[in-house]
Amino acid sequence: MIKRLMVCFVLILGTFPLLAQNKTVTGTVTDATNGGPLPGVNVLVQGTTNGTQTDFDGNYTIEAAEGDVLVFSYLGTKNQSVTVGASNTIDVAMEEDASQLDEVVVTALGIKRQEKTLTYAQQTVKSDELTKTRDPNFMNALSGKTAGVEIKKSSSGAGGSTKILLRGNKSLSGDSSPLFVIDGIPMANNKGGQPGMWGGTDSGDGLSAINPDDIESISILRGANAAVLYGSQGANGVVLITTKSGKEGKTTVTVNSSYTFEHYLELPDLQFKYGAIGSAKESWDTTPGDYASDYVEDFFQTGHNFFNSVSISGGTEKTQAYFSYGNISASGITPLNKYLKNNFTFKQSTKLFNDKVTVTSNVIGAFESSRNRLPSGYYLNPLTGLYFFPRNRNFYDYKENYEVFDETRNIMAQNWFVSDHHQSNPYWIINNEPQKDKRDRFIGNLSLKYDILDNLNIQVRGNYDYATVLKTQEHAATSNSTNVHPNGAWDYQKYEDKLIYTDAILNYNTALSDDFSLNTSLGASYQKTEYGIGVQVNTGTLGLLYPNEFYFQNLPTNVQVQSITSGTVIKEGVFLNVQLGYKEMLFLDVSGRNDWASTLALTGNDSYFYPSIGVTALLNEMIEMPEAISFAKLRGSWTQVGNEVPFNRINPQNTITANGGVNRNTTRPFLDAKPEIITSSEFGFDLRFFQNRLGLDFTYYNIKSEDQYIAVPTTSGEGGYTQEYINAGEILNQGVEITLNTIPVQNENFEWSSSFNFTSNKNEVIDIGPDDERIFNLGSSEGYYSRLVEGGKFNDLYVYKFLRDDQGRILFSEGAPRKTDLPELIGNLDPKASLGWNNSVSYKRFTFGALINAKFGGKVFSQTQSMLDGYGVSQVTADARDAGAVVVNGYDESTGTAVTSVDPETWYRAVGDRNGIGEAYVYDRTNVKLSQLSIGYNFDLSKTDLPIKAASLSFIGNNLFFFYKDAPFDPELAISTNQNAQGLDNFNLPSTGTYGFNLKLTF
């Protein structure tokens, strides 16, 4: 398929010499109000980087071909587009547009509204910001570019999933992730698998099906107020993705190609001075030695990422089409880690029957495969053995001979110095326990729009979203015996996800009088989701009949091929949106939706209604403003919406185990369940100054989540049930979002635009049900406990602390420090505030972009550092041995004497290791880093005979370095992008930075 596409591309290139030649176009740009010349007006050939500005007399000169479209733009005026014809002179009069907010934006369900009329906060990021520095998952590029959005990148490397959270965590047991929508239609964003505390890999998410070069813009509807028309699916906000379409006029071909290097930013601070005593697995010798130190760095390699895409866009007055092909090929920083993705997109729009009917179709295909995504946690992770390896041994003996022949079994066996449940030979894991996954995705939708009248139309849409997923891991015989049978083990999972969606929307707008306007949309939708339907095999410690034969016929009789399903959900809804305007200065927006959900079948509560109301006032239209104020808007809104009921919560069933047994359901049916209710209110203002050179957007929100789904012990053992669910609990999120946009400098040759996005969210757990002493564990490992406690916050961190006396001294017993009997609260894993500072600079044909992200407050925990200290392989343990002791302020209760110094091994074996004193490994999450950097040049090709309209070359970089951080790891890297295990470093893949080059050509 790829070869065919390349042949087509070559044929297209061959036609370029036949295209029209450029000519010199001149003209004058004036002010339509007074006829005076306008200096500094931007003149750009659409779809290219070929542009200029008018001089002090409003004159301009530019090279363009007949059929090209010249776009004229100037602050405070409406953009003008003029097609180049036979004439070499084009004069333009720019009309005043003081607010520049008459722009039509896409809102929920693809309904278009003027931006100035919106009653809620919405931010839009254009395509050039998404592709400026290239990332395999385009959502990572949004970090810091919008307020109210928290984005955390997976630690699994290329192709990993991304955690997106809008305005804080809202659900105790449900999901707080937003809904993702493509061109107005919901899409599935199921995650293929996530690491846990003890191991596992990230298998990516549904967003990877989208080629970032196909995206026109992304709009963030941060609250339920903006997303109520999606019902319960939009309770946590919506990410609206608008894809590119074909444009009328000459065919345009765009080629975008990037190559980036990837390297680790930071490794754990390890020591190579002290080895082990005898055959011990820990390095607690006190005699210095001259040991090899390069094998850890040698394990990591330079990653290579290739991004290539080609798109073709064009059309006539009646039909426009867009086609693209994209490819990502990546090798990670660990051996044999590969990721490959191929995308194609075809979108077409045709007008029929005197332009009254518009038919739009869109097809997206994505084919992904990966090998050896690095797991997190202790087990089957190559990093544990790499870091723990005793310093006095020769690591290269085990690297070059990671497997040896076992004559007794006639197989190759793992070669490692010790049999230990949480470490193996790193090169054995990489080569003989390969993890592979493959995902094929198809999304197809069709839209039919009929203009009944000029102000009345009906639109019917249908969408089919289908994905197949195959995940396997083969564990060769003699792999770690804690997890793997002596004959080996096989993990196999194949399943499919389906989403069928259709809706019909009637849109009507009219002027009720000279003063009043009406915009309304009435519709209905149907959605059926089937996900995780397939088969799986997990032999675990039951093993295989014959070693290293990974197929179904080699399964023991007590291992069954299981049928699996994660859920089938049907949701139907009707909705209405009415917007009433008064003199283009005051707008009232009222919405309502009623849903019927299959997840609430049998309860009598399967029908539920959600209302929303909002008001916008344009102060600059109501009263005379100072000349400096270009635009002033107040807005406020209130809504109430439900959150999704998880599948299989109402009437849970028995399940079949891997060996053919039955796991009996012990959860009582939840027959009186009702949806979680989220009540959200927000208000804010939008101010623009100096002809939009300075803009300030402020939002305050209050979100209350009630009737959570909480599991509690049953009051009786009747029916064999041990737990049941109730609707209870309340979580409150309050916060502010501030966006400051400014253009400090703008003249003929130089322009600098800058934006600040600030977010602060305060979370409080008001109620957790009838048992107010109850503790909800969101995630826990040895020493790390993320909990929910009434009166606390979501993601409160609990750890064992040093036991201290009234003077603050650490208490000792028999020479070792003591810890508290139970874990205690030490802080919260979420930051108190976030700030993104994004800058774009252009000087003549040079461009510069930089993004700085900062997080303030919050805590993180390093299980890695705790274990390294316990094993005596961290640099801090070597420093302590060099000093002769660890200096402390303590008191030994058993001897009644003060303790001022402790033997390093005694101290770190007690404080570190698997069950140590977690207080020592809690760090401040505060950090400031350079997240993105780009330096580019736009070539002037107007005077050449090349068939290239525009060309640009850029140096690009992602996640380059930290200006400041406290933690010994990247605190913004997520072990899991699910709700649990946040702020935890448990032998995660080191954070990486990328840098390279991007070439973009337009024909």
Tokens 């005793």 belong to which residue? 390
Q: How far, in Å, CA of 3 to CA of 475, rounded? A: 35
Encode pLDDT of 941-960 as tens digits. Answer: 877 888 888 899 999 999 99
In order, the DSSP letters of 703-726 are EEEEEEEEEEE-SS-GGG--EEEE
- H helix or E strand, kind and range, residue 871: helix 863-871
Q: What residues pair up with 254 in beta bridges, in sequence order?
A: 311, 1002
- Answer for the pair 384, 355: CB distance below 8 angstroms, yes or no: no
Q: How far, in Å, CA of 291 to CA of 154, rounded? A: 34
Label the pairing between strands 179-182 and 238-243.
parallel
- Answer for the pair 286, 881: CB distance below 8 angstroms, yes or no: yes
Q: Is 125 helix (H, G, I), strand (E, B) or coil?
A: strand
Output the pLDDT for position 710: 81
CA-wise closest residue to 581 among 22, 31, 923, 118? 118
- Answer for the pair 829, 818: CB distance below 8 angstroms, yes or no: no
Give 210's Cβ-side CA count (13 Å radius): 29
Specify burial of residue 590 (Cβ count, 10 A radius: 0-12, 13-18, 19+).
middle
- SS3 letters across 819-843: ECCCCEEEEECCCCEEEEEEEEEEE
User: Residue 263 corresponds to which tokens in the numbers above?
Assistant: 């390297």
Specify burial of residue 18 (Cβ count, 10 A radius: 0-12, 13-18, 19+).
exposed
Output the pLDDT for position 11: 38
Output the pLDDT for position 174: 62
Measured CA distances, 220 to 114, 165, 225, 832, 978 (Å): 16, 11, 12, 21, 20
- Answer for the pair 600, 670: CB distance below 8 angstroms, yes or no: no
**Angle ∠(430,497,347) on CA atoms, nearest 5:** 105
Q: How far, in Å, CA of 467 to CA of 189, rounded? A: 11
- Answer for the pair 641, 703: CB distance below 8 angstroms, yes or no: no
In order, the DSSP letters of 375-418 are P-SSTT-HHHHHHHS-TTS-HHHHHHTSEEEETTTTEEEE--S-
Give 794's Cβ-side CA count (13 Å radius): 25
Helices 904-911 & 875-883, crossing angle to 10 degrees? 150
**Angle ∠(325,161,385) on CA atoms, nearest 5:** 120
Domains of the chain: 1-97 (2.60.40.1120), 206-215+221-795+830-858+925-940+942-1002 (2.40.170.20)
Q: What is the number of helices (H) and of strands (E) in the chain?
A: 11, 55
How much of the chain is in helix, strand and coil states, percent to nearest 5?
Answer: 10, 50, 40
Label the pairing between strands 249-264 and 303-315.
antiparallel
Write phi, then psi, for 601 (nearest 5 degrees).
-60, 150
User: Residue 49 corresponds to which tokens in the numbers above?
Assistant: 């980087």
Measured CA distances, 668 to 564, 725, 743 (Å): 22, 8, 61
Q: Could you give the residue ranges of the DSSP H alpha helices within 278-409?
A: 295-299, 382-388, 395-400
In total, the chain counts a number of residues equal to 1003
Q: Which stretches of the chain score pLDDT less than 50?
A: 1-20, 98-99
Q: How far, in Å, CA of 203 to CA of 212, rounded? A: 19
Output the pLDDT for position 659: 58
